[in-house]
Chain A
């Protein structure tokens, strides 16, 4: 999350809250049609041509919040029938959690290559001559790019000796480290699901807020409203500080219990087990002659290797992620329980789609809106609770470097200290894989995190990552060292 809070983010949060409020009241179908008007009255939204378009966009955003992909419903369906469809769905998880909302995409009229005033109007006309489509003509002593012919190959830009032709990319494309976003013929950006790893970087990058991630707000509220089974919250270690300066860790847990969760457990507990298992796996692999091992806890990092570097996927650790590890432990105790993961992550939504033990995944942003919708204010919750499920190593998983640190701590001193490579951010991870392929990366252990800085900088967070890091360090320092897992 960036340090400034844009209007599009505020509107997204208002939509989350409005949908959640109706779901809590059991009036989703009856009143959902009024949400776009509410939002339009409450905000001055005038980014688009007219109010009708704004309304159409709001409607599509609500569809995404309901977790309904565009290709599974008719675009003429009114919101109340979309709500009815959403309420009937049995499987509410998504193997691909991101959607480019076509009507919201502003088709950024960014012509990828632009001739600037740095053009000296030379006589060589390298730009014109390099163009394979004859898209460049000289008009009034200045090259002119015919947009209908230009295929955006970039040869003109690289041919110009004055660098007078600049390349401008769309913010979504620029944010995507795996080149999964490309405009279609109409200029509407498209996410290629075969390439997308679900990191969610594009969601906050788009200045129009036109990329949405499917939510499980409504099914989670419905789970919490019934009494047939207990619902557990599995909360990711990056949660400290996310809910504001007056909300400590205990208040978050107490607030979630007031909201209806039977128990709230730190995912860091699962991370403790992962650290021990991964260290043992590392030793075993090395003894078996394996060159290196990568972490497996970041689902976007794992998906990136599987989709883009399948030749390297045998390097990925087989240890399940902390979320899955903890889910298995809870299910073993209470098979009847429903489990909701709460974290900073969009890729976790995709990871959960392949794991039946996890019933829902919510971001901090989504859960905060659900709390507000229920009239709960975490700043007003007083609690003596102090979460005590994990030690410092497990909690440290939330920041870049933390997983490697935990692994090293679990290796016995007689093992040669592994050379650790920190792939901090998806771009760095892609670069590492490239180097690995070229045989240029010297490392025994790669810690991969798709978000720069680690989970504390995830797309579903609510505070500045730098603030979050300080608070996390404090939270780790306060952890009970005896909760650390022992090697097994």
Chain B
């Protein structure tokens, strides 16, 4: 079973644009997916000014909303479940 790795930027610029909201939705996602979701806070992903920023399985997302993040994660993990 694969794992989704999420690095969430907690730098000041991203924090001002809503890192906390993304963190809240990640907590909900973790309730659903448990250990298949790997969340790490980082101090900068280089997207200052376009935050909030997160890296999901290596791909960077800018101006991310909680809804987009949830959809992205759910799609990645559901896809795999469907394939199995």
Residues in A whose Cβ lies below 8 Å from that of B21: 3-5
Q: Encode contact with A along B40-52: 1 for CB under 8 Å, 0 otherwise.
A: 0101100010000
- For residue A223, give the distance in angstroms from its CB to the closest CB of chain B: 21
Residues in B whose Cβ lies below 8 Å from that of A5: 17-18, 20-21
Residue of B nearest to A12 (CB): B16
Residues in B whose Cβ lies below 8 Å from that of A378: 11-12
B54 within 8 A of A: no
Residues in B whose Cβ lies below 8 Å from that of A243: 12, 15
Beta-carbon contacts under 8 Å, A1-54 to B: 3-5, 10, 13, 17
State A365–B16 Cα separation when bound (angstroms): 8
State A17–B49 Cα separation when bound (angstroms): 10
- For residue A80, give the distance in angstroms from its CB to the closest CB of chain B: 23
A464 within 8 A of B: yes
State A104–B24 Cα separation when bound (angstroms): 31
A13 touches B16 (CB 8 A): yes
A463 touches B20 (CB 8 A): yes
Residue of B nearest to A245 (CB): B10
State A379–B40 Cα separation when bound (angstroms): 14
Residues in B whose Cβ lies below 8 Å from that of A408: none
Beta-carbon contacts under 8 Å, A438-482 to B: 462-464, 467
Residue of A nearest to B66 (CB): A4
- For residue B22, give the distance in angstroms from its CB to the closest CB of chain A: 10
A377 touches B20 (CB 8 A): no
Count CB-based A-B contacts (< 8 Å): 66
A246 within 8 A of B: yes
A13 touches B17 (CB 8 A): yes
State A445–B13 Cα separation when bound (angstroms): 42
Residues in A whose Cβ lies below 8 Å from that of B77: none
A371 within 8 A of B: yes
A380: contacting residue among B16, B20, B41, B44, CB under 8 A: B44
If the complex has contacts A244-B12, A371-B12, are A380 and B17 also in contact, measured as CB distance less than 8 A?
no
If the complex has contacts A245-B23, A246-B43, A372-B48, are A379 and B12 also in contact, measured as CB distance less than 8 A?
yes
B19 within 8 A of A: yes
If the complex has contacts A245-B23, A379-B10, A379-B11, are A10 and B44 also in contact, measured as CB distance less than 8 A?
no
Residue of B nearest to A380 (CB): B43
Interface range on chain A: under 10, 10 to 19, 20 to 34, or 35 or more?
Answer: 20 to 34
State A365–B21 Cα separation when bound (angstroms): 16
State A464–B22 Cα separation when bound (angstroms): 13
A235 within 8 A of B: no
Residue of A nearest to B23 (CB): A245
Residues in A whose Cβ lies below 8 Å from that of B12: 243-244, 247, 368, 371-372, 376-379
Residues in B whose Cβ lies below 8 Å from that of A464: 20
Residues in B whose Cβ lies below 8 Å from that of A245: 10, 19-20, 23, 41
Beta-carbon contacts under 8 Å, A122-178 to B: none
Residues in A whose Cβ lies below 8 Å from that of B18: 5, 10
Residues in B whose Cβ lies below 8 Å from that of A246: 10, 41, 43
Residues in B whose Cβ lies below 8 Å from that of A10: 17-18
A462: contacting residue among B10, B15, B24, B41, CB under 8 A: B15
A369 within 8 A of B: yes
State A365–B15 Cα separation when bound (angstroms): 11
Residues in B whose Cβ lies below 8 Å from that of A365: 16
Residues in B whose Cβ lies below 8 Å from that of A376: 12
State A380–B43 Cα separation when bound (angstroms): 6
Other than A5-B17, A5-B20, give 9 A-B pairs with Cβ distance below 8 A: A3-B24, A17-B13, A244-B19, A245-B20, A245-B23, A247-B10, A247-B12, A377-B11, A379-B15
Q: List 21 A-B contacts (CB under 8 A).
A: A4-B21, A5-B18, A5-B20, A10-B18, A243-B12, A244-B15, A246-B41, A247-B10, A247-B15, A365-B16, A369-B16, A371-B12, A377-B11, A377-B12, A377-B44, A378-B12, A379-B12, A379-B44, A380-B43, A462-B16, A462-B20
Give the interface of B toward A (CB within 8 A).
Answer: 10-13, 15-21, 23-24, 41, 43-44, 48
